[in-house]
């Protein structure tokens, strides 16, 4: 899919192979992908299709066998480890299924952690501002065990946004939530894109949550098999999955 908007993610010929010989597994196979600035993209497909591998490579947590990745105009393959760590901390926000909050820290301390690790003197103020934006202005001093699952995921989203990243990577962000909270988080991630201008790339298995995105990328056997814009209806992702033979 091509676009005239500046691309935050540019992937070309991305391939990842694990093992060799009879044990070789081609987790990604010559994948091309562009994600424009401010677009919310969801990636779906069966287990083992390459979704998690794609996220790991985009997050700089693994290296490709072949192909290139650029984030916000910076090729990841050209960066030494210290600069890759810096880019990951400052330009990419991560949201995980199990929140990954530190139990002994309150909401502000958790949300400000990436900034404090980076020596930012405005860490608490910026974290507080983002917590207020995600609807937790009255829970600033609560620890994770004093928050619901949905509230903990809001803290995690505030933490991801506190560094003002260009890209947010969300790995099954609603997989550990009840249906109501999951829908609220899906709506919040859409707001991250539409209101706050961040590119969001989300992996999910839930067609209902996928429907919050603007665009759907379907994967099978390490390849992209469909790439389409969504119409905002709950049925869009399910229809696309059925058409691709993935349901």
d(CA 25, CA 101): 33
Give residue 212's domain range: 37-60+80-243
| pLDDT per residue as tens digits for the range 10-56 | 999 999 999 988 889 999 999 999 999 999 999 999 999 999 999 99
Cβ neighbours, 10 Å, residue 246:
17
Assign 91 a pLDDT band (cuts: 50, 70, 90). Answer: very high
What beta strand segments (E) does 87-135 contain? 92-95
User: In the chain, pLDDT over 90 holds for what percent of residues?
Assistant: 89
pTM for this prediction: 0.94
Report if residue 14 sits inside a domain. no
Average pLDDT over residues 198-225: 97
Report if residue 23 sits inside a domain. no
| pLDDT per residue as tens digits for the range 214-247 | 999 999 999 999 999 999 898 999 999 999 999 7
User: For all residues of the chain together, what is the average pLDDT?
Assistant: 94
CATH of the domain at 56: 3.40.50.300
The encoded tokens of residue 182 equal 């999951």
| pLDDT per residue as tens digits for the range 171-183 | 999 999 999 999 9
Number of folded domains that form the chain: 1
Instruction: Considering only residues 90 and 215, tell me which one the structure prediction assigns the higher pLDDT.
Output: 215
Report if residue 54 sits inside a domain. yes
Report if residue 172 sits inside a domain. yes
Assign 3 a pLDDT band (cuts: 50, 70, 90). Answer: very low
Q: Give the dihedral of Cα atoms 43, 98, 187, 73; nearest 10 deg.
A: -50
d(CA 130, CA 156): 11
């Amino acid at each position: 899919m091509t676009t005239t908007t500046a691309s935050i993610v540019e992937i070309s010929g991305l391939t990842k192979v694990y093992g060799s010989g009879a044990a070789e597994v081609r987790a990604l196979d010559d994948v091309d992908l562009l994600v424009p600035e401010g677009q919310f993209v969801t990636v779906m497909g069966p287990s083992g299709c390459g979704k998690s591998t794609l996220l790991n490579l985009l997050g700089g947590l693994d290296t490709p066998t072949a192909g290139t990745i650029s984030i916000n105009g910076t090729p990841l393959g050209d960066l030494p480890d210290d600069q890759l760590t810096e880019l990951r901390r400052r330009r990419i926000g991560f949201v995980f299924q199990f929140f990954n909050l530190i139990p002994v820290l309150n909401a502000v301390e958790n949300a400000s952690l990436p900034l404090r690790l980076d020596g930012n003197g405005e860490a608490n103020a910026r974290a507080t501002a983002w917590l207020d934006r995600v609807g937790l202005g009255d829970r600033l001093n609560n620890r994770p065990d004093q928050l619901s699952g949905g509230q903990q995921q809001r803290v995690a989203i505030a933490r991801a946004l506190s560094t003002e990243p260009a890209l947010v990577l969300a790995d099954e962000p609603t997989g550990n939530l009840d249906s109501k909270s999951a829908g609220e988080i899906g709506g919040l991630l859409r707001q991250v894109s539409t209101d706050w201008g961040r590119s969001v790339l989300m992996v999910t298995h839930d067609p209902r949550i996928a429907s919050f995105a603007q665009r759907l990328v379907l994967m099978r056997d390490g390849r992209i098999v469909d790439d389409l814009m969504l119409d905002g209806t709950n049925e869009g992702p399910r229809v696309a999955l059925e058409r691709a033979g993935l349901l």
